Amino acid sequence: MPELPEVETVARGLREVLPGRRVLSVRLGKTDFIDDPAALEQDLPGSTFARIRRLGKYLLLDLEPRKTPAEQTSLLIHLGMTGKLSVCPPETPVPLHTHVFLALDDGRELRYNDVRRFGRMALLANGAHERVLGGLGLEPLEISEGEFRTRIQARKSRIKAVLLNQAVVRGIGNIYADESLWRARIHPEKIGARLKDDELRRLHRAVQHILREAIRLRGSSVSDYVDLDGGRGEFQQKHRAYQRDGKKCARCAAIIRRIIVAGRSSHFCPQCQPAPPKRRKPRKVAKQRSRKRALRSRSKAKR
Ligand SMILES: [Zn+2]
């Protein structure tokens, strides 16, 4: 799933080719990931791309204002799990699952391909930006250490979940959360509010270091992520925790483990990232457990 470094790599690719290019026509395949397909078809032709921005995992392709200079219209793209953009001559063979074709005035085509269609596309106009993007947290590469600390210490959930929460910081997903926690030597199940100042200082540095390195290496190609030109990222070769369960920790040689935190697999070193102290279970939970146990033994007896 593309996260901040992969989306930034795509944004950089788009910045090379799109600004100044005018859309001549729009052709759509399946449209269930597009907010208002008719608006795209009607309003995009004749528009010229201006600035290309990235907000967390969102791409914003700003368009030159056509009526009043204050008007701000942007094409919003979220790559979801398998979204891919490419710019190519129209005679290039069309891969399966290509659903959006924008004919550009230089004779090329901007294409969007998405096998699973968990992505999103929308034409944002007249203040829709705030409605769609207003809940996003701060950019992790720009957030100060103090602000990072304040935001995380305000959360009672586990740090892995806090890092994935796009309303806290935007753009971090499973890969970069696991890698940052490994680098900062923090167990994914520690509670955000209980993290010490020096742990958060390490984590802030780790997040920024990991993201910068990953951008430099053009992202991680763990499943089918490729950049605008079909090139693969290289940061997966630098992974120290993510999907390395069963392998040796690069720091201490203990075996990396995998557990589920906040519904997501989390990879960590049990030695470098010690578990938080176990709290006593509230009585209610203990009671439910013993009831479950009783039910289990009863069903076993039936068998
Ligand atoms: Zn270790």
CATH 1.10.8.50 domain residues, the chain: 145-268
11-15, 53-57, 282-286: range with lowest mean pLDDT: 282-286
CATH 3.20.190.10 domain residues, the chain: 4-133
Q: What is the pLDDT of residue 269?
A: 98
Compute CA distances 99 → 30, 32, 47, 63, 287, whole Å: 6, 10, 20, 21, 53
CA of 249 to the centre of ligand 1 (A): 5
- How much of the chain, in percent, has pLDDT values that exceed 70? 92
pLDDT at 293 over 70: no
Catalytic sites, residue numbers: 2-3, 57, 264
Q: What is the pLDDT of residue 71?
A: 82
pLDDT at 303 over 50: no
CA of 92 to the centre of ligand 1 (A): 47
- How much of the chain, in percent, has pLDDT values that exceed 90? 83
Q: Which of the four pLDDT bands, split at 50, 70 and 90, describes residue 301?
A: very low
Q: What is the pLDDT of residue 289?
A: 60
Please count the other Cβ atoms lying within 10 Å of the Cβ belonging to residue 5. 28
- Assigned CATH topology for domain 4-133: N-terminal domain of MutM-like DNA repair proteins (3.20.190)
Q: What is the pLDDT of residue 36?
A: 95
- Average pLDDT (120-147) is 94
CA of 269 to the centre of ligand 1 (A): 5
pLDDT at 300 over 80: no
pLDDT in tens, 58-97: 999 999 998 777 788 999 999 999 999 999 999 999 999 9
What's the distance, Cα to Cα, between the start and end of the chain in Å?
Answer: 43
**Side chain identity at 147, as an amino acid letter?**
E
CA of 214 to the centre of ligand 1 (A): 21
pLDDT at 32 over 50: yes
CA of 270 to the centre of ligand 1 (A): 7
Class of the 145-268 domain? mainly alpha
CA of 247 to the centre of ligand 1 (A): 11
CA of 40 to the centre of ligand 1 (A): 50
pLDDT at 100 over 50: yes
Residue 70, CA atoms < 13 Å, CB-side half-sphere: 2
Q: Which of the four pLDDT bands, split at 50, 70 and 90, describes residue 148?
A: very high
Q: What is the pLDDT of residue 281?
A: 62
CA of 160 to the centre of ligand 1 (A): 18
Q: What is the pLDDT of residue 292?
A: 59
- Average pLDDT (245-265) is 97
CA of 253 to the centre of ligand 1 (A): 6
CA of 263 to the centre of ligand 1 (A): 23
